[in-house]
A and B are shown apart, each in its own frame.
Chain A
Amino acid sequence: MDTLKAFLRHPTGMIGLVILVAVLALAAAAPVLFPDSPWDMVGAPFQPPLSEGLLLGSDMLGRDVAAGIAYGARVSLMIGIAATLAAVLIGVVIGAVAGYFGDKVDDAMMRLTELFQTIPGFILAILLVATLGPTLTHVVVAIGAVSWPPVARLTRAEFLRLRGREFVQAAVCQGQPPLVVVLRHILPNALSPIIVTGSLTIATSILIESALSFMGLGDPNLMSWGFMIGASRTVIRQAWWMSVFPGIAILLTVLAINLVGEGLNDTLNPRVARKVRAA
Chain B
Amino acid sequence: MSMSASAVSGGRGAAIVLPIVGWVAKFVGVVLVIATFNFILVHAAPGDPVQVIASQSGAADAKLLAQLRAEYGLDKPYPVQLAIYLKRVVTLDLGYSYRQQRPVRALIAERLPATLLLTATAFLIALTAGVVLGVLAGVRAGRWSDTLLTIVSLLLYAMPVFWLGLMLVLLFSVKLDWLPAFGYVTIGVEMSPLQRLGDIAAHLVLPATSLAAVYLAIYARLTRSSVIEVMHQDFIKTARSKGLTQGNIIARHILRNAILPVVTVAGMQAGALVGGAVVIETVFAWPGLGRLIYDAVLQRDYPVMLGIFLVMSVIVIVLNLITDAIYRLIDPRVALRAAS
Which of A's residues lie within 8 Å of B, judged by CB?
114-115, 117-124, 126-128, 130-133, 203, 207, 210-211, 214-217, 226, 229-230, 233, 236-237, 240, 243-244, 247, 250-252, 254-255, 258-259, 279
Contact = CB atoms under 8 A, between A and B. Distances in A.
Contacts of A233: 166, 283
Contact of A120 (B160, B272, B305): B272
Given A130-B297, A233-B283, A124 B158 contact: no
Contacts of A207: 160
Given A126-B305, A127-B306, A233-B166, A117 B279 contact: no
Given A126-B297, A211-B279, A226 B313 contact: no
Contacts of B114: none
A87 B42 CA distance: 23
B275 A229 contact: no
Interface of B: 2, 29-30, 33-34, 41-42, 44-46, 154-155, 157-163, 166-167, 169-170, 174, 225, 228-229, 268, 271-272, 274-276, 278-279, 282-283, 293-294, 297-298, 300, 302, 305-306, 308-309, 312-313, 316-317, 320
Nearest to B271: A120
Contact of A117 (B166, B225, B268, B275): B268
A153 B36 CA distance: 24
B155 A255 contact: yes
Contact of B166 (A119, A128, A133, A229): A229
Q: Is the interface of A mostly helix, strand, loop or mixed?
A: helix
Contacts of B154: 255, 258-259
Name which of A123, A128, A233 has the most chain B CB atoms within 10 A of its CB. Answer: A123
Name which of A119, A121, A217 has the most chain B CB atoms within 10 A of its CB. Answer: A119
B232 to A, nearest CB: 9
Contacts of A124: 309
Given A236-B166, A251-B158, A118 B317 contact: yes
Closest 5 CB pairs of A and B: A122-B275, A247-B163, A255-B158, A254-B158, A120-B275
A106 to B, nearest CB: 14
A115 B28 CA distance: 12
Contacts of A237: 174
Given A127-B305, A255-B158, A243 B279 contact: no
Contacts of A236: 166, 169-170, 174
Given A216-B298, A251-B158, A254-B158, A118 B320 contact: yes
Contact of A123 (B293, B302, B320): B293
